[in-house]
Structure 1
Amino acid sequence: MKLRTYFVEDNPTIRENLIATLAELADVEAVGMAETEAEAKQWLTQNMDAWDLVVVDLFLRQGNGLGVVSALQRRSAQQKLLVLSNYSSVDVRQRCLQLQADAVFDKSNEIDALVDFCIDLNTSKV
C-alpha cells in the first residue's frame, strides 16, 4: 500500500525530484502539493483522511513551514509530519519537534535518512 504524501515545497525542481525519489524508493504516492503556508493548511485540514504523511519545507513562497506544522498538531497518531529544510540547526529542530513534527531532515545531507524513515513508516503500515 502506498504512503499517501502531501508535499509543501515552493521550489518546483526540488519538489519534483523529491516526489520521484520517494515514489521509486519508498513507495510514496503524492496526493497533493502546495507552495504556500495558506494553501497547505487549507488542503491538509480539509482533507484529514486523505493523507498519511506530510513533508514540509520551512521557507515557502508565502508564509512558512512552522505555520503548517503548528496547524497539524491535532492529527491522528498514524499521520506523520516531516520537516525537510536547508535550515535545520539545533534550535530549528527543537522548535519543530516542540510543534509535534515527527522528524526533521536537512536537505543537503539527510535525504537517505528521510527515505529510510518513509520506508520504515510504510513497512509499519502493512
Structure 2
Amino acid sequence: MSLNIFLVEDNRIVRNALTEMLQETLDCRVVASAATEPEATRWLSANPYDWDIAVIDLTLAQGNGWGVLAGCRDRQPHQRAVVLTGHADTAIRSRCAELAANAVFDKTTELDLLFAYCCGRDTPESNLLAAG
C-alpha cells in the first residue's frame, strides 16, 4: 500500500531532498508540501483524508510546526503526525506528546528511524509518543 505523505518544511533544499529520499526509500508519494503554518493548516483543512503521514518541522518561515501539529489533532485513526526537527531534546518531545504527535525524529541523526517508522518497522520507544 502506497503512503501519502504531507511534508511541512520551510527550507526548499531540505524539502526537496526529503521528498526525493522519502519517495526513493518508501512506497509513498509526497502529495503536498508547505513552508508555513498558514499554508499547512489550510491544506490540512481542505484535504483531511488525503494524507497518511504528516511530517512536520517545528521551525517554519511563518508560524511554526506547533500550530500545524495542533491542526492534526482531529486526524483519522490511521493517520500519523510525525515531527522531524533539528532540536529533538526531551522538552521538545514532551511538548510534541502533549499535542498528540505519534513520534519525533531528529533530522540530523534519525532519518533512518523516520523511514523505518513510516514503513511500519520498529522504532525505539523514545521516539514514539502516542498510542496509535
Indicate whether the TM-score tops 0.5. Answer: yes
Distance 2:34 2:10 in 1: 7
Matches within 5 A, 1:54-69: 54-69=54-69
Kindly indicate which of the two structures has a greater share of residues assigned to helix. Answer: 1
SS at the partner of 1:31?
Answer: strand
SS at the partner of 1:4?
Answer: strand
Contact kept, 8 Å, 1:45 with 1:72, in 2: the verdict is: no
Structure 2 unmatched ranges of 5 or more:
122-132
What is the TM-score with the length of structure 1 in the denominator? 0.93
Higher relative contact order (CA 8 A, sep 6+): 1
Cα offset, 1:88, TM superposition: 1.0
Cross-structure match for 1:34: 34
What is the TM-score with the length of structure 2 in the denominator? 0.89
Cα offset, 1:24, TM superposition: 1.1
Matches within 5 A, 1:1-126: 1-120=1-120
Percentage of identical aligned residues: 41
Count residues in correspondence. Answer: 121
Task: Compute the RMSD of aligned alpha carbons.
Answer: 1.0
Moved over 3 A (4+): none
Tell me which amino acid in the other structure corresponds to 1:50.
D
